[in-house]
Amino acid sequence: MDCNNSEKRINREGDKTRGGTFNSTFRTMEQDKLLTLVFTFLLLCLTVIDTASDAANKGVYKVYSSGVPCIIVQADIYLYLTYQTSDSEKDVVVHVPTSSTADTAVSTCDTYIATAGMSVPAQLLRINLYHMAGWTIDLGFTEDKRFKTEGKEFTLFQVNVTANFSSDPSSFPNAKYPTQSYNLHIDPNNLSDLSGSIYADIGNSYYCPSEQKYAINDDVAYIKFKLTTIQAYMKSASFGPKQVCPSDENTTDLVPIIVGSALAGLIVLTLVVYLIYRTFLPEEVLNLVNPDSHFGSDSGNELSKDDILERF
């Protein structure tokens, strides 16, 4: 009788041991899955943060006609201006706030701009600088053949800046004139660097993520674009195929290589961390995953895969 009771106690203890081992194994496998999910989540977060960072660093300006945009400008814009003070001149750099907006009362998809004794058919975007009263930037686009577009391209041919220095005396001290205007000189026979650089085929978008700085008035006013995508004479609500600016053609070719290398590095890092993690797993878990592994132990101290699954 005592022997039978002892045998029953041993069997119950064995059952408890196998049950405890299986629970430990199950928990470890769940932790393994959790680790994989964490790494996947981190990769997604990195991608989202990078995308959000780019979006936050540039303004977006649209001009509409009948609910469809004809102009979209995405860019981070800087102005380099020289203004007259009471006794000299002062140079300032003005970052156009990315929360600036298109002036819907002035911006238009169909107008004529009178300049240099010409009347140029154009589309016009006026940007009102956020929290800077009286500050505006006019960007004029045309497909006029006089600007070497051959009627198949659009080009940015005009930039006018109105600066209201009196709106912020602390940032622009001693301004002799409250307001100054800076206008790009236009000559179809001698295109400006701006007009000869920012253009694309109709239906396509101009794409230039690198910094590009252009003169408005030599030695007096310059405009700089970064992270730039521009399209005028649009027929749909989204950008057309990208035409990359010459300075970024090689950089753009390297993007897939850089992204691929970064992903490969993350995969290798994940694999290394996972292998290190496996070294801390109990032997019964390793044998469950790979029964033929070298992590064997005495049969009296180890549960077989069938035992664990049967217990489950």
Q: What value does the mean pLDDT take over residues 60-86?
A: 97
User: Could you identify the residue written with the tokens 């007259």?
Assistant: 84
- The band of 48, judged by pLDDT with boundaries at 50, 70 and 90, is very low
Specify the residue for token string 């022997």. Answer: 3
Out of 193-197, 220-224, 281-285, 296-300, least confident range: 296-300
pLDDT at 201 over 70: yes
DSSP tag of 81: E
> 176 has which bridge partners?
none
Q: Which candidate, 45, 60, 233, places its Cα nearest to that of 142?
A: 233
**Worst-scoring range by mean pLDDT, 12-21, 68-77, 84-93, 265-274?**
12-21
pTM of the model: 0.67
85 or 253: which leads in pLDDT: 85
Report pLDDT for 45: 55
**At residue 89, what are phi and psi to the nearest 5 degrees?**
-130, 155
Confidence band, pLDDT 50/70/90 cuts, at residue 269: confident
CB 287 within 8 A of CB 293: yes
Q: Per-residue b/e over 53-76, b at no fewer than 16 CB within 10 Å?
A: eeeeebbebbbbeeeebbbbbbbb
Q: What is the pLDDT of residue 50?
A: 47
Span of 229-238, 268-277, 288-297, 298-307 with lowest mean pLDDT: 298-307
Token digits for 184? 């790009």
**Helix extents (H) in the chain:** 2-56, 249-278, 283-289, 305-311
Contact by Cβ (8 Å): 81, 219:
no
Q: Tell me the CATH architecture of domain 58-244.
A: Beta Barrel (2.40)
By the 10 Å C-beta count (0-12 exposed, 13-18 middle, 19+ buried), 13 is classed as: exposed
pLDDT digits (tens, 9 = 90+) for 208-228: 999 999 999 888 999 999 999
User: What ranges do the domains of the chain cover?
Assistant: 58-244
- What secondary structure letter does DSSP report for 106? T
CA 276 to chain centre: 34
Bridge partners of 223? 79, 214
On whether the CB atoms of residues 303 and 282 are closer than 8 A, the answer is: no
For residue 174 the two structure tokens come to 């001693």
Kindly report, residue by residue over 33-42, the tens digit of the pLDDT. Answer: 555 555 555 5
To the nearest whole number, what is the mean pLDDT of the chain?
81
For range 73-96, the mean pLDDT: 96
**What is the C-alpha to C-alpha distance for residues 120 and 140, in angstroms, rounded to an integer?**
10
pLDDT band at 278 (very low <50, low <70, confident <90, very high): low
Model pLDDT for residues 141-158, shown as the tens digit of each residue? 999 999 988 889 999 999
Please say whether the beta carbons of 232 and 123 come within 8 A. yes
Q: Residue 268 has what pLDDT? A: 82
Share above pLDDT 90 across residues of the chain, in percent, rounded to a whole number:
54
What's 130's DSSP letter? Answer: T
pLDDT at 2: 54
Q: What pLDDT, on a 0 to 100 scale, did the predictor assign at position 41?
A: 56
